[in-house]
Structure 1
Amino acid sequence: MDLSIFNPAKRPLIGLDVSSSSVKMVELVEREKGGYQVERYAIEPLPREAVVDGKIVNIEVVADTIRSAYKRLGSNTRYVAMALPSAAVISKKIILPAGLREQEMEVQVESEANQYIPFALEEVNLDFQIIGPAPSGPEEVEVLLAASRKEMVEDRVACAEAADLRPVVMDVESYAAQAAFELIESRLPGGGQDQVIALVDVGANVMNVTMLRNDQTVYSREQAFGGGLLTQGIMRAYGMSVEEAEAAKRTGSLPENYEAEILTPFAENLAQEVARAMQFFFTSTPYTQVDHIVLAGGCAVIEGLSDVVQAQTLVNTLIANPFQGMAISSKVRPRSLHADAPALMVACGLALRRFDQ
């Protein structure tokens, strides 16, 4: 008899990440001896312009792609955790009196939200979470408030439901990536404690740089640079369409001069963007050093990229793999998972939500 309905933490859950270039799904299970196992995962490319700047433009196409990814995944779990793009969410830490009842806290949060949100409250989905005691003392608590336009949430829910899936969690991409990042951080020297770690997520169009120290975000920045520039370079050089260029990039079926003339300059530009983000960080915060750089996103799989970034920044650079140290089921090809891991940070973080208390 399955009692998981009464215990949502144990309910099987798929992490479903819809980015501008693809749909990614990850399912994790807990092992009896502790730790996790990668049960299955799937990646399905999205047609161009279906998702633009995090906004779902074509619900039908996205729903079809989710359906294909789910079929490829081969799971019988229909519950999914999804996420909103960080840019679509206004989040703010607020201080409230400790000991409020849930309803009293809701009223307080709403009145605080009014000050920060540039929309009418009936147009937004609002949520909050108590982080813990406030720095000022035990009579106050720190609360994280998150709000997003209802349409952003509703469009994602509509896509999942059209593919016969049931969304039960709506997270924020940056928080989901951070949950996966904590698995990587634990393997750094000293567990990454008291160190500044740059999580650099290079997507198709934007590069998100988050500086973390002791699991707290101390700085974040978005830069207009992404893997789309590499695709455009391939299209121009070889007269390919977007689809052809993306496919060639994935399968590695490009002419001999590709590496020297297109890939290497792109990797160098990416390294310069990371160095620029670090300069912005140093000039706008009291921090003067970064201890590690973790590269995530689809571009992180470029052969030798970590060496190029390390040479440019003189900071220890590694490629994100949240699955390192996890068991892998027989349904998953280890080599494929290793190659895809940096692009699966958000999906992995969402899949971890089933283990939340």
Structure 2
Amino acid sequence: MRRGLRQRLPVLKDFVRIQRQIHAGYGARWTWDVCQGSKIYKRWGVSVRRGLLSGLLRRNIVGIDIGSSSVKVVELSANGKQGDFRLEKCASELIERSAVADGNLVNIDAVGSALKRAIAKAGIRSKDAVLAIPASLTESQTVSLPDNLTEDELFVQVESEANRLFPPSQNVNFDYVVIGPSETEGGIGVRVMATVAERVTERVTAAEMAGLRPIVMDVEENAIQRAMTHMRAVKTSATEAEMRDMPVVAMFHLGGANSQALFYQGWKELYEQPLSGSGDQLTQSISRLFSLDLLKAEVKKRKNTLPDEYRSQLLKPSLETLAMEVSQAIQNFLSTSSVGRVDEIVLSGGHASLLGVQTAIQQQTQINTTLANPFANMGAAKNVNARYLQRDLPAYIVSAGLALRGLQ
């Protein structure tokens, strides 16, 4: 990454890169707007929708979650009224098991094709899309900066910090989040995040193959936090004093390739920890035991159509291991935090809907455990099949959080 607020960067098709900063505690992202030209410029800007119809017409945004075994797409809409969100359409589609590895899009064509199928299955016609980079592909650092900096001054300070996260020879994209007052008097805490530009480019390419127009690139962890804040009706304007009276929620995001524990009070993240278990590990065990290819093993696992020995030989031990890891993560949080309690556990991610996960974790921890519903506190279009959607609700938390980002 080269220095300079207006430094020209390498070509990323015909997009202009506009970096913005949202003071909501979790809104940083990379943003593009379509334009003519062959260069990407780092610019600072905020778009404002104006006009007599801005409060009447609904805006639609598609959130795209690219996982290791599937892609999830969610279309949300909103009108000018704050918080008036509606689920329009959603769908998921399995992808080739080798298409995504460790968050990298190894086979962009396969991912683009899966996205195209998911968009068609859902019947989505909107083009503006929000995507995300996995936290595992980013480097981050929290710094304390003076709270009286102008936006341009803050940008320059953040760029300097981001330069330290990667070698100077690497071309990277970066963003940042203002997370609230710092311990230093007159300071603010700022989380700086950066990733290699190639990781951004490959996701934009896959989305374009599906006929979509990427307008925002976020970080998955931010999307989870945003969805959690919305579904629990937490006001992003809540002060530190107000949040001290709010429940402490342990969010366990159980994904295919990666899982993590995220602890929140109000909108504020208190602690995070990666987990070693993942849904892909169970799929691989199923594949070996029943001599199935990975795609068929994944389908049968999701539909719960495996032979009886699956439950005794694979599922039960897997759930016991997961429950113990969840319990250990809670103990780690309690030993490092001054909060001293966990009031509720919320499970998200595709693995969260697996038969028996919720019960196993609640029995192990003795803490009330629920499945995430990222579409809580919003309406739903008439064509949404709520019964069909019910079993997959936790899996849509990232894509729902991304769509919310595009509408806020």
TM-score relative to the length of structure 1? 0.88
Equivalent residue in structure 1 for 2:133, among 55, 75, 84: 84
Other structure's SS at 2:301 match: helix
Q: Is the 8 A contact 1:202 1:297 kept in 2?
A: yes
- Which of 303, 306, 310 aligns to 1:251? It is 303
Correspondences of 1:146-185 after superposition (within 5 Å): 146-185=193-232
Change in 2 beyond 3 A, CA 1:91/1:193: farther
Deviation track 1:152-174 (CA, whole Å, cap 9, x = no partner) reads 11111111122221110011000
Q: Does 1:51 align with 2:100?
A: yes
Gaps of 5+ in 2: 1-46, 235-241
Q: TM-score, normalised by structure 2?
A: 0.78
Equivalent residue, structure 2, for 1:232: 284
Letter of the structure 1 residue corresponding to residue 76 of structure 2:
L
Distance 1:253 1:86 in 2: 33
Equivalent position SS for 1:13: strand
Contact in 1 for aligned 2:230/2:377 (Cα 8 Å): no
One-letter identity of the residue aligned with 1:182: T
CA distance in 2, matches of 1:99, 1:266: 51
Letter in 2 for 1:110: E
Contact map agreement 1:185 1:192 (CA 8 A) in 2:
no
Residue 123 of structure 2: aligned partner: 74
> CA 1:291 to 1:251, structure 2 compared with 1: closer, same or farther past 3 Å?
same
**More helix by percentage:** 1
CA contact (8 A) 1:16 1:81 kept: yes
Residues 99 and 263 from structure 1, CA distance in 2 versus in 1: closer, same or farther, beyond 3 angstroms? same
Q: How many residues align?
A: 348
| Letter aligned with residue 228 of structure 2 | F
CA–CA distance in structure 2, aligned partners of residues 147 and 248 of structure 1: 38
Whole-angstrom CA distance in 1 between matches of 2:48 and 2:407: 14
| Structure 2 residue aligned with 1:27 | 75
- Residues 44-103 of structure 1 deviation map (CA, whole Å, 9 limit, x = unaligned): 111111111111111111111111111112122111000000111223333333443333
Q: Find out whether 1:126 has 2:174 as its counterpart.
A: yes
Deviation at 1:128? 3.0
Using the TM superposition, give the Cα deviation of residue 7 of structure 1 relative to its aligned residue in structure 2, in angstroms.
2.3
1:7 maps onto 2:49 in alignment: yes
Which residue of the other structure, out of 144, 149, 158, is the alignment partner of 1:95? 144
Matches of 1:7 and 1:263 in 2, distance apart? 50
- Are 1:42 and 2:91 an aligned pair? yes
- 178-187 or 241-250, which moves further after superposition? 178-187
Give the structure 2 partner of residue 314 of structure 1. 366
Which of 326, 333, 345 does residue 274 from structure 1 map onto? 326
Instruction: Tell me, yes or no, if the aligned pair for 1:230 and 1:266 is still in contact at 8 Å.
Output: yes
Is 1:355 equivalent to 2:407 in the alignment? yes
Could you say what secondary structure the match of 1:24 adopts?
strand
AA partner of residue 108 (structure 1) = Q
8 Å contact from structure 2 (residues 302, 354) kept in 1: no
Distance 2:294 2:65 in 1: 22
1:282-340 deviation digits (Å, cap 9, x = unpaired): 34444543211111111111233212111111111111112234322232211221111
CA distance in 1, matches of 2:188, 2:293: 54
CA distance in 2, matches of 1:215, 1:296: 17
1:339 aligns to what? Answer: 391
Question: Alpha-carbon deviation of 1:233?
Answer: 2.9
> Residues 62 and 159 of structure 1 are in contact (CA less than 8 Å); yes or no, is this contact kept in structure 2?
yes
Q: What is the rounded CA distance, in whole Å, between the counterparts of 2:179 and 2:264 in structure 1?
A: 17
CA distance in structure 1 between the partners assigned to 2:362 and 2:320 by the alignment: 11
The 3-state SS of whatever aligns with 2:60 is coil
Question: Matched residues in 1 for 2:153 and 2:226: separation?
Answer: 29
Residue 215 of structure 1, CA deviation: 1.9
Please tell me whether residue 202 in structure 1 is matched to residue 244 in structure 2: no
